[in-house]
Structure 1
């Protein structure tokens, strides 16, 4: 592992590492190419059915929420993209293709719709970054790469044009393990068809941060895992942004100080190891955090 810098004054034990993801957090996954393509299809179903919720809101609802009048039209285009992606993957997979699940999305108005879309696209960008290593067919690899670039544009548009924040986070997208990605997706999934082959993943306990946290703030986190094997272990909070990961001890009262250097999309994972954020070490999470910044790189406290 190539350590670029290893000091952080917030706590006595911390590190910051910029390295290849496999050097830092190899998840040990062994997806076949078909499983990887089906994971991508599951993701596209997930996105398409979320964007169908757009049509429960009218254009005036978006205007009343203070959003640009062209917002619904752009979201409709994104919805069309996700349907096209799903159909494309279904054509590749044929009778092996998984079917859509039943979803439970939390949006109740245009503002919460925008907030959820931000999370959905963050998951998508990370997922396509991670899935490329399972694709051996060069034509499929090009297709996955092409979809990824469009998903990244969706994310940039949501952040820059709708939320008036930063269009990107760091020089890299953050690759998570497929188990960590599916854990985030599963919070929005009510049930899946019995005909679908279960994805070869673990689902970790949900990790929750208080609302509207900011870098430098000390916060108390929570997660549903109260299993005995974690009761006496030292736990660590990882903050993953691009290829950079900061790891900080979690205090006994479940508080942690958020590093004040974080910007953009950040995924936080609780582990029982300060050396790796692998599936074997993961206790809870990931949680999605967003720390906006302006064109000069200064913190910009915007609601999601």
Structure 2
């Protein structure tokens, strides 16, 4: 009989920890109580270090993402690039090598005292969010990114969300953003870019008055971009492999395009993100020399 009594709390504790784990490892205590777990069960889970308390009102699992814990520590929601990263979206590289701040949306009555390692967002995005949510809505994530990041960084995050089908471009254009920065991004964000790197390049060219056609196939092979008739752009991403096989494949692709009459410019991740003036000058010089208006051979 005693063994049966002892086993009941253990089962409930397992159910409680599994329930918290199912909420990305973080839950508000009011939600816990609403799910009919008792204060005694919560206390036992904390005592046994199956769960941990944050600010008395939050419970987190031992393997909870530190960014989610940071959001709970200030009573807010993970947002902007921190939420984008957790969602698996493309996020801009940290240029100085530091880990970067954790971005958290907080209510207007939240404490104004700085918390180490946390960047607070006070603005209100277009989508309502449950009071005890640890996650911001995707529309709010993009809203805060539009205000917080450089325009090209924000656009890359937006287009990553579209590319991964977490939001549709048409939906973005129909939102009442109440923000000039977000509304501007909504007019240009699309699913055409296949990576954040491509977004950077295309938007940089757009700002210079150069139209880049995307998702162009030539002779059965894709191009990262085509300017006018014959200036082909190839971009090597951060994870681009430099093995001999991959390098030979790139050389063959460039040679095939050259034989068809195209001028090929290839840039890598570092150049596009950190040496943009050099990339822009290279492209503009090629255009000035007529590289974009050369006759090319017919192809399928």
Specify which structure has the higher proportion of helix.
Answer: 2
Which structure has the greater CA radius of gyration?
2
What TM-score do the two structures reach when normalised by structure 2?
A: 0.26
TM-score (norm 1): 0.25
